[in-house]
Amino acid sequence: MSEPVDIKNKSEIERIIDLDRLGRSGSALEVVASESECAALAKRFGFLALQGFAARVTVDLQPGAQVIVEGRLKGKIVQACVLSLEPVTQDLDDAFRIVFQKDLTEERDPESGEAVLNAQADAPEPLAGNMLDVGEIVAEQLSLAAEPYPRRPGVKLADVLPRPKGGPRRGAPGQQRHPFAGLAALRDKPRRDR
């Protein structure tokens, strides 16, 4: 997110800020995604559509080489219902705040070498270099704001599961068939010697 700009991994909604040119009062910007940027973000995150996506973002330099990025996302996400695959619309209106720290080294697990996440809610993230892609930050916040398991109102799992053919099995009233009854029958079956 805060890595130096890499042309191969260019964000779909790139908005680069040079922190060395940022004034003492910081910077405020409006990120409004074009139709093609919305389509690219929808493809990246597996949405059916992304409409009217925009964010108001402020970037402020703080003492101690900290950079605070705050903003609010607005827009409309269309996703497939996890049960029926029908379109589900989610209106976005989500605020975020991220703190970056210059020259902060990531703590790594000695065995796996992977970055260790800090459990503190407002723990600073490392900032490499002097360029910050605010567009990528906004894109990542979009993915976090999206409903992970969108569900169309009123749809239940029973509505989408296939119904057994021939209706329910008949047995003694109040008696239920045990799920492992077939295995018990095999266990009790006489074995043939080989």
The pLDDT, as a whole number, for residue 6 is 45
Q: Which amino acid is at 152?
A: R
The pLDDT, as a whole number, for residue 70 is 95
The pLDDT, as a whole number, for residue 7 is 43
- Dist. CA 132–CA 87, nearest whole Å: 35
The pLDDT, as a whole number, for residue 165 is 72
User: What's the predicted TM-score (pTM) here?
Assistant: 0.70
The pLDDT, as a whole number, for residue 2 is 45
What token pair was written down for 115? Answer: 């970055």
Which range (12-16, 142-146, 171-175, 184-188) has the least confidence?
Answer: 171-175
Per-residue pLDDT band for 21 (boundaries 50, 70, 90) equals: confident
Tens digits of residue pLDDT in 87-111: 999 999 999 999 988 876 666 777 8
Q: Considering the chain, what percentage of its residues have pLDDT values greater than 90?
A: 41
The pLDDT, as a whole number, for residue 120 is 65
Beta bridge partners of 71: 57, 96
What token pair was written down for 152? Answer: 């169309």
Residue 172's SS3 state is: coil
Residue whose pair of structure tokens reads 């991994």 in the numeric block? 9
